[in-house]
Structure formats: structure tokens, C-alpha cells
Amino acid sequence: MGLLIQSNVSLKPFNTFGVDVKARVFVEAHSDADIREALAYAKEHKVELLVIGGGSNLLLTGDIDALVLRMATRGIRITHENCDGATVEAEAGEPWHPFVQETLAQGLAGLENLSLIPGTVGAAPMQNIGAYGVELKDVFDSLVAMDRETGETREFSLSECAFGYRDSVFKHQVGRWLILRVRFRLSFAARLHLDYGPVRQRLQEQGIANPTPIHVSRAISAIRSEKLPDPATLGNAGSFFKNPLVSAELAARIRETHPGLVAYPQADGQVKLAAGWLIEQAGWKGFREGDAGVHALQSLVLVNHGAATGLDILHLAQRIQTDILERFGVSLEMEPNLY
């Protein structure tokens, strides 16, 4: 085998929470052939397979008795181009933010609002990443995935991915499909989204009257840097809870006692609430127990101050969920995948 098979490898460098657990078997894949070898190894040795990218959407609660396959494939290419824009394909192992910056450098707009999101290109469709009024599905063209059982590849169109809020078909079929590469429809003519959060205000403060996609990317990167801690210095997985969707009736009841409720009406009549606002109102902002805590500047972010275990962080998250349900009647759903 060409793969480097390693045993009892610490996954601390491979998850942004910085949780120190071990993988029974660990490999890195740099090509489709490597992936097929890893699949064959797992089948031959009867071990489960856990695929990871940047480890930014993981909460590891114990040692992993499986083959951990880290996607390390690289490559960015334009597969189609016309006067309006281009289709750009990226390998699953490409780090997300540098990929966004590469498309902007080529004069292509569409991904600027998704700047500075951690993780890899291959992980992005799993939960249909989104930020500042834009979701991955808005610029998605198609992707190629491998069937873990047969090793065969298949194309997925936009409709076949069944994207929803932080959701996709791949999130419900985790054990079957392994995303190899993703294609995006990007434009030479910018259609900027500036009205979600403080983006427009930040650009105005900078004296930018006619922003470009690069201006928007820089503004959003600055905003995210101020709100979200750098995992290299404080372990975290970004937003830990999804913004909950509730009925209009429940939102109205909460607003009666909390007039400052941050809420966004949806087209289907539901209301999206700001989970961070709920958590802050409940007094959890800046909370710390041992090395597991809630970030002092952003209540939506749970952090590892150094030596917290995955279980420490999980137990804190569960306490917050229970409290928010009792106070507001709202169920919070965790964003990271638990292992």
C-alpha cells in the first residue's frame, strides 16, 4: 500500500477544539487512489471509517476506535468560463478561506460573504455553510462524491443535495458518501449582499461608498475576527448552536417579556431566533467551569481554555440547552458532529 498507516495518533492537531484524543488508525489521503486504498483497508480490517477535513465541526468525546481518514487533497481549477462568470472546481481537502481568497483574486464574486469560515471545501456542503445572508447553496453548481461501499463516483446536482438550513443529504447519509470535489458558479459581475449584520455599517465606517467583493470579504473577515476567537489560541468550533426556527406564536410570547428579542421572519411563516442572544440573556456569556467555557465576547461560541475534554464541553452544552428550553421553550441544536 502507498498509504502511510499510523496507529494511536493524537487528533489534537486535527480538531479546532484542541481536544486530545487518539485515533486507533490514521491516514491522510492526497488523491482518489489514496481514498480507495483507505476504504479497502477499513473493509479488510473490519474497522469503521471517520472522514475529517479541517476538524472545525467536530467535538471528539473520546478515543476513536476507527480508521480516521483526513482529506488532504488539493487543487483549484476553472472548468467552464464565459462572459458572465465561471464554474470553479476545488478538491475536498482545500482549506475553505484560502479557496475563497483565490476566487476573489481571479475577479470572481459570490463567496465573499463566506470569508474566514474555518474548515475545508469538502466539508462545506455537508451542512450547507452560511454567513451574512449567503449560503453555500446560493453559489453551488455540483459535486463529485464517492460511494464508500463500491468505490464508484457519482455527480450530485443542486437539487440532489437537498440543501436546507445547515443541512444536506450528506448529513443524513454520513456513512455512505465521501465528497471528493465541489464546483461553484461564480460571477464576474458582483451582486453584493450587505444588509445582514453590520456589514454595510462597517464599509461605511471605512469610507467605502462603492464596495467590491474584496472589500466585503475584508470587512466580514474583520468582523468575524473581532467576534470569534482564533482556534490557534483558544480552542473552539465557531458557532456551537444553530439559530433555532420557531413558530411566530412562540416568538411573540418571548417578545412579550423580552422586547429586544433578535428574530428574523422566514418565508414559510416561521421565525429564526438568534441563539447567541438567547444564551446571553440567560447569563451564560463568559461562563467558565474548569477549562470548558462560553466565549466572553460571543455567547454562541463554546471554548476550550486548554485542557477541557470533549465530554467537559458536551456537558456544558447540554446544561445550556436545558436552561434555554426551560426559560424560553426553545430547543437548541448543536452544530458540531459528536464522536
Rounded Cα distance, 158 and 131, in Å = 19
β-bridge mates for residue 87, sequence order? 80, 185
Query: Which cell goes with 181?
Result: 470535489
Rounded Cα distance, 57 and 184, in Å = 22
Residue 80 to residues 84, 108, 155, 213, Cα–Cα distance (Å): 11, 13, 16, 21
- From the number of C-beta atoms within 10 Å of its C-beta (0-12, 13-18, 19+), residue 277 rates as middle
298 Cβ contact partners less than 8 Å away, ≥ 6 residues apart: 227, 228, 229, 276
Cβ contact 185:85 at 8 Å: yes
Alpha helices (H) along the chain: 32-45, 96-105, 158-161, 169-172, 199-205, 213-227, 248-257, 275-281, 310-328
Query: Which cell goes with 104?
Result: 476573489
- From the number of C-beta atoms within 10 Å of its C-beta (0-12, 13-18, 19+), residue 267 rates as exposed
- From the number of C-beta atoms within 10 Å of its C-beta (0-12, 13-18, 19+), residue 8 rates as exposed
Cβ contact 74:31 at 8 Å: no
Amino acid (one-letter) located at 262: V
Amino acid (one-letter) located at 111: L
Cβ contact 303:236 at 8 Å: yes
Instruction: Quickly tell me which residue has 473493509 as its cell.
Output: 43
Nearest to 43 by CA among 35, 55, 54: 35
Amino acid (one-letter) located at 27: V
Cβ contact 53:68 at 8 Å: no
Count CB atoms within 10 A of the CB of residue 238.
23
Rounded Cα distance, 164 and 189, in Å = 26
The pLDDT value given to residue 331: 98
pTM: 0.88
The pLDDT value given to residue 227: 84
β-bridge mates for residue 178, sequence order? 146
* Annotated catalytic residue 166: yes
Residue in 115, 217, 239, 299 annotated catalytic: 239
* Annotated catalytic residue 239: yes
Residue in 74, 166, 200, 288 annotated catalytic: 166
The pLDDT value given to residue 3: 85
The series of mean pLDDT values per 10 residues for the chain, 339 residues long, is 88 97 97 96 95 94 97 98 97 98 98 96 95 96 96 97 94 91 97 92 96 98 91 94 97 97 95 97 98 96 98 98 98 95
Domains in the chain, start-ordered, CATH in brackets?
Answer: 6-71 (3.30.43.10), 76-226 (3.30.465.10), 229-338 (3.90.78.10)
Query: Which cell goes with 214?
Result: 474584496
* Annotated catalytic residue 335: yes
